Amino acid sequence: MQRPQIKTISDLNSYLTTLETRLSALERENMGLKNMVNHISHNVASLPNETVRLPRTGLVSKSFFKRSFTVWGHYFFAQLLIAIFIAIGYAVVVLAILGISSYLNP
């Protein structure tokens, strides 16, 4: 912002009023930013005091064998579900083919 040409006292008063308004706005903004910094620093300072809440599952166990068998169990169960659905689909197809063939050849 360029300084205006001040020729009279009223020009000086209006210029100083404008500067005071800008200064008060900047002070309010600065106060808000300081409050935000204090709030964030307070939150960061309290982070190490909080405990991490993990679910009670073998996937986050400290024991390697417990983790590995948990992963294997999840894998086995998923494969079992997939195999059951494939077997049901296969049985439906076989029964449909047998039903059609017995219908065509009495």
pLDDT one-digit tens code per residue, 50-80: 677 778 888 888 899 999 999 999 999 999 9
* Whether residue 83 sits in one domain with residue 37: no
* Whether residue 43 sits in one domain with residue 15: yes
pLDDT-based confidence at residue 43 (cuts at 50, 70, 90): confident
* Whether residue 35 sits in one domain with residue 14: yes
50: three-class secondary structure by DSSP: coil
Q: Domain range for residue 16?
A: 1-50
In angstroms, the Cα distances linking 49 to 25, 43, 44, 55, 86 are 37, 10, 10, 19, 50
pLDDT attached to residue 50: 65
- What is this structure's pTM? 0.44
* Whether residue 32 sits in one domain with residue 5: yes
* Whether residue 86 sits in one domain with residue 69: yes
As for how many domains the chain has, the answer is: 2
